[in-house]
């Protein structure tokens, strides 16, 4: 069993074998057929997928077709899951049936031929790769993460002070802070906002994520004939991937050259732990040996998975708090009375329920990976009583589950108080990090970052609208692989010092 695999996996595997035998004897037509919109010849439901805000559109389809429905795209059948119970059934209870990732032409391009953790299909090699990265991350998390985040939170404070009360778009500053946490963990390196190296790295990672999420590029997966036609966005994607690989290669080479002279703090960087695991047979039945490519792709996974997500979440938090200034005041009041002027430690979270409620509510309303990453059925199975054939693509609509009116009262409203005692909501109903074998690898890192960054920011600053309440940020957002807030400016007004 690899790290992150839920207990009870044996019974899940036995269950799915039984189900497989059942479907061999009884035709699958006995199972009800999945509802879904009319599928057009050739196009299937492609138009549904080309929607501007896909998570929100898929959620509205759930109101029409139910919490599980199918969409066709070329030869691919996708099943969209829209409630917490159904997503948990697939990802957690039946994780061993749905831990695969779809193979795709464009996925292979961005993942070094399916060799990344996030896009690699479920296999012995993938398990060894994920375990290596998980152990390296866990070691760094225990040894240095708290200090690394605190340092970045203080640097972010200085950057915000330097605005001198001027209105500014803080999204770039949040990206630098989140990115520096990962690059410090990964290679023991941090950057200034103006650093050309940082701009290059993020310019190209951002471009890859947004190009890969665009319909011009995903169409190539469903309609192979299109690959023969000129496609400028796809050519750009190829160029950016080459640029990304060059940057990461340079970092890894630099790390290798400096490693012997590193201080003990630097030596615990993830790259060191990953490189240490290379060339040795991993603890798997097939004696998998991991290579430099695995270290390279794990680094890409951490940088992509760990930067835009956390940064986008911070932007959402400030945006929502601008809409409800009284909540911002309540958090500040709680921080002052509980901490008595000192900065918080992660262990203080149990004594700061209002702050934690804000964090949960922003994760609920704006899960920054709103459709997780598509899963693939590794074998015939079932979800919610429907037969799901092998190779079906599963889309966990986390955004939909977090807006399910059967679970959440007034689901579209920003109400952190729902998570406070007597508020009626439970954080157990949240799924912002997915679940099961594919649970977000950086969940522990992200939770500490969200807590510490928010606590520092709200202790040090009052966030006020740039002009008047008429200039409050738009809360719809821009949905690609990551759900981001539209650009807005805000004034960070310093609070009296601790």
Site residues for ligand HEM per CB under 6 A: 91, 117-118, 130, 182, 301-302, 305-306, 309-310, 313, 367-369, 372-373, 396, 432-434, 438, 440-442, 445-446
H-only helix segments in 425-471: 443-460
Exposure of 166 by Cβ count < 10 A (0-12 exposed, 13-18 middle, 19+ buried)?
Answer: exposed
How far is residue 323 CA from its own chain's centroid?
A: 25
Q: Cβ closer to ligand HEM: 297 or 491?
A: 297
3-state secondary structure of 259: helix
- Residue 416: half-sphere exposure toward Cβ, Cα within 13 Å: 23
Residues 6+ apart with CB under 8 A from 405: 411
Closest distance of CB 439 from ligand HEM, Å: 6
Tell me: is residue 440 an annotated ligand-binding position.
yes
User: In whole angstroms, how close is the CB of 314 to ligand HEM at the nearest point?
Assistant: 9
How many angstroms separate the Cα of 178 from the Cα of each of 110, 115, 475? Answer: 22, 25, 22
Residue placing its CB nearer to ligand HEM in the complex, 44 or 305: 305
List b or e across 280-296, with b for residues whose CB sees 16 or more CB atoms inside 10 angstroms.
eebeeeeebebeeebbb
Instruction: Name which of 44 and 114 has its Cβ closer to ligand HEM.
Output: 114
- Kindly state the smallest distance separating residue 306's Cβ from ligand HEM, in Å: 3
Contact assessment for residue 322 and residue 465, using Cβ atoms and an 8 Å cutoff: yes
Smallest separation, CB 87 to ligand HEM (Å): 9
| 23 or 106: CB nearest ligand HEM | 106
Both tokens assigned to 41: 């010849």
CB of 215 to ligand HEM, least distance (A): 21
Interior angle at CA 272, CA 255 and CA 262, nearest 5: 60
In the complex, what is the shortest distance from the CB of residue 375 to ligand HEM, in angstroms, rounded to a whole number? Answer: 6
CB of residue 40 to ligand HEM, shortest distance in Å: 29
The residue among 49 and 311 lying less far from ligand HEM, judged by its C-beta, is 311
Taking the C-alpha atoms of residue 120 and residue 127, their distance in angstroms, rounded to an integer, is: 10
Give 83 or 118: the residue with its C-beta nearer to ligand HEM.
Answer: 118
SS3 content of the chain, % helix, strand, coil (to 5): 55, 10, 35
Nearest-approach distance from CB 444 to ligand HEM, in angstroms: 9
Cβ–Cβ < 8 Å for 96, 13: yes
Q: Which is nearer to ligand HEM, 92 or 491 (CB)?
A: 92
Burial pattern 404-438, b for ≥16 Cβ within 10 A else e, equals beebbeebeebbbbbbbeeeebeeebbbbbbbbbb
Residue of closest CB approach to ligand HEM = 442
196 CB-contact burial (10 Å; exposed 0-12 / middle 13-18 / buried 19+):
exposed
Alpha carbons 293 and 489: distance in angstroms, whole number: 41
In the complex with ligand HEM, which residue's Cβ is closer, 399 or 408? 399
Cα dihedral across residues 245, 246, 251, 254: positive or negative: positive
* Binding residue numbers: 440
* Binding residue numbers for heme: 440
């Amino acid at each position: 069993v690899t790290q992150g695999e839920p207990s009870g996996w044996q019974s899940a595997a036995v269950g799915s074998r039984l189900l497989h035998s059942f479907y061999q004897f009884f035709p699958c037509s006995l199972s009800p057929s999945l509802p879904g919109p009319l599928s057009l010849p050739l196009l299937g439901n492609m138009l549904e997928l080309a929607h501007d805000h896909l998570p929100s559109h898929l959620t509205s389809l759930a109101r029409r077709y139910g919490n599980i429905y199918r969409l066709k795209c070329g030869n691919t059948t996708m099943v969209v899951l829209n409630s917490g119970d159904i997503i948990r059934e697939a990802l957690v209870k039946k994780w061993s049936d749905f831990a695969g990732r779809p193979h795709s032409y464009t996925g292979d391009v961005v993942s070094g031929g399916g060799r990344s953790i996030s896009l690699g299909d479920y296999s012995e090699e993938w398990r060894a790769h994920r375990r290596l990265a998980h152990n390296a991350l866990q070691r760094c998390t225990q040894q240095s993460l708290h200090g690394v985040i605190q340092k970045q939170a203080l640097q972010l404070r200085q950057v915000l002070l330097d605005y001198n009360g001027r209105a500014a778009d803080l999204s770039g500053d949040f990206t630098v802070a989140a990115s520096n946490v990962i690059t410090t963990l990964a290679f023991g390196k941090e950057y200034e906002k103006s650093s050309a190296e940082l701009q290059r790295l993020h310019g190209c990672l951002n471009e890859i994520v947004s190009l890969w999420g665009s319909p011009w590029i995903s169409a190539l997966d469903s309609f192979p004939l299109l690959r023969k036609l000129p496609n400028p966005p796809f050519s750009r994607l190829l160029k950016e991937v080459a640029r990304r690989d060059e940057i990461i290669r340079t970092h890894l080479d630099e790390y290798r050259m400096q490693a012997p002279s590193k201080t003990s703090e630097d030596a615990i960087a993830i790259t060191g732990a990953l490189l240490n695991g290379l060339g040795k047979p991993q603890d798997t039945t097939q004696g998998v040996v991991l290579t430099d490519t695995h270290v390279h792709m794990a680094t890409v996974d951490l940088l992509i998975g760990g930067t835009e997500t956390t940064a986008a979440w911070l932007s959402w938090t400030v945006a929502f708090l601008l809409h409800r200034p009284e909540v911002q005041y309540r958090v500040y009041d709680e921080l002052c009375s509980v901490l008595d002027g000192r900065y918080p430690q992660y262990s203080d979270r149990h004594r700061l329920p209002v702050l934690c409620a804000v964090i949960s509510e922003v994760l609920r309303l704006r899960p920054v990976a709103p459709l997780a990453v598509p899963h693939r059925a590794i074998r015939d199975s079932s979800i919610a009583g429907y037969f799901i054939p092998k190779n079906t693509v599963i889309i966990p609509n986390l955004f939909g589950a977090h807006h399910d009116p059967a679970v959440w009262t007034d689901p579209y409203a920003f109400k952190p108080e729902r998570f406070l005692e007597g508020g009626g909501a439970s954080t157990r109903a949240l799924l912002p990090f997915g679940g099961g074998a594919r649970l977000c690898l950086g969940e522990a890192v992200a939770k500490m970052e969200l807590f510490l960054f928010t606590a520092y920011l709200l202790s040090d600053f009052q966030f006020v609208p740039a002009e008047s309440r008429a200039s409050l940020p738009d809360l719809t957002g821009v949905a690609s692989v990551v759900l981001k807030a539209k650009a807005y400016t805000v004034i960070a007004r310093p609070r009296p010092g601790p």
